[in-house]
Amino acid sequence: MLFSEAAAEYMADKRKRLRATTLEGYESAVRCHLMPIWGKREIETISFEEMQEWVDSFALPGAAEKAYKTFRQIYRWVLRRHQLRIWDVTQGVELPKKPTVRRPTLTADQERETLQGIVGQPFEAAVLLGAALGLRRCEACAVRIEDIDWRSGWVHVRRGLHVVGGEVIETECKTKLSDRKLKLPRFALERLRAIRGARRSGRLCLLNPNAVARRFRSFCRRHGLPHVPMTCLRHSWATISLEHGAAIEDIAVALGHSTVNTAMSHYLQSFRTVVARASASYASAMTG
């Protein structure tokens, strides 16, 4: 069985179950990385040594991991579906070590300056939601007027907005825990009331996620405002909250993560505040 046939079967099956955004990622990896190398190969002829050599050939560790995991998904699915009695050549493959990534974040003062500077812009609602709640870009752009309790400031985050194949689509949240309720700080709630105006339904931000990111970046550059990508507003929210006394467990829940480790490894840039609090607690106990 050719790998190209296996990939076609796999994608046809997964289209019934996976989100459009997930499928788009798989299709990209198959098209760019898998088909040029493995498309015309018989599944049974691929060896472990070739697999490891292929993984080692990538210049970027992230690309190697994405390509390998997509191959593994297809390969193991085909082994199960067709009950092929062959050695799993993906077993034991070593991925290149990924370098530590320090994503840019804004300080509280910088973020305040930026939020004040973008008042009145068509992307303001999405940026404000992302900054004030630590939302993913897709989540911030998908928040509807009906999702907000305009008295208390509680926001029900329950969908994402994506651009797939040039079309704007809504999907369910990324994970079960991503469907969550978060509370807006008063300054953000008051500003969002002004942005809403007389409207009583529909999305708060009328731009799609790509347009929000593009216009936000361009506007900040033109006006000399502190800027990080929308994704990094999420990192900024976590770091600012941590440094001003929030517990790491609370941050993980607000971000919609299943474990504290995810928040620690992907979003938090500085642990000095946490260590200082722990040290102060110990010192307080020892001095009675």
- List per-block mean pLDDT (blocks of 10 residues) for the chain, which spans 288 residues: 95 86 88 96 96 96 94 96 93 89 88 97 97 94 97 95 89 83 95 96 96 97 96 89 82 81 63 71 78
Stretch (H or E) spanning 156: strand 154-157
Looking at the fold, whether 62 and 127 belong to one and the same domain comes out as no
User: The pTM is what?
Assistant: 0.78
Domains: count for the chain:
2
Looking at the fold, whether 18 and 130 belong to one and the same domain comes out as no
Asked whether residue 285 is domain-assigned, the answer is no
CATH number at residue 52: 1.10.150.130
Write down the pLDDT at residue 272: 67
Asked whether residue 17 is domain-assigned, the answer is yes
Domain that holds residue 58: 3-82
Asked whether residue 97 is domain-assigned, the answer is no
Looking at the fold, whether 117 and 232 belong to one and the same domain comes out as yes
Helix (H, G, I), strand (E, B) or coil at 288: coil
- The pairing of strands 154-157 and 180-183 is antiparallel
Looking at the fold, whether 55 and 115 belong to one and the same domain comes out as no
Identify any residues that bridge with 172 across adjacent strands, giving them in sequence order: 159
Last residue of a domain, one of 82, 116, 140: 82
Write down the pLDDT at residue 91: 95
Last residue of a domain, one of 47, 82, 117: 82
Looking at the fold, whether 223 and 137 belong to one and the same domain comes out as yes
Looking at the fold, whether 117 and 77 belong to one and the same domain comes out as no
Looking at the fold, whether 142 and 217 belong to one and the same domain comes out as yes
Write down the pLDDT at residue 96: 93
Write down the pLDDT at residue 127: 98
Looking at the fold, whether 268 and 140 belong to one and the same domain comes out as yes
Asked whether residue 280 is domain-assigned, the answer is no
Q: Which two tokens stand for residue 217?
A: 């970046």
Looking at the fold, whether 48 and 177 belong to one and the same domain comes out as no
Write down the pLDDT at residue 175: 76
Asked whether residue 160 is domain-assigned, the answer is yes
Asked whether residue 259 is domain-assigned, the answer is yes
Asked whether residue 103 is domain-assigned, the answer is no
> Are 144 and 204 contacting, i.e. CB atoms less than 8 angstroms apart?
yes
Vertex 113 angle, CA 110 and 118, to 5°: 125
CATH number at residue 166: 1.10.443.10
Looking at the fold, whether 26 and 133 belong to one and the same domain comes out as no
Asked whether residue 217 is domain-assigned, the answer is yes
**Nearest to residue 1, comparing CAs of 81, 93, 92?**
81
Looking at the fold, whether 153 and 243 belong to one and the same domain comes out as yes
Give 113-118's long-range contacts (Cβ < 8 A, gap of 24+): 113/225, 113/226, 114/220, 114/225, 114/226, 114/227, 117/220, 117/223, 117/225, 118/216, 118/219, 118/220, 118/225
Looking at the fold, whether 241 and 112 belong to one and the same domain comes out as yes
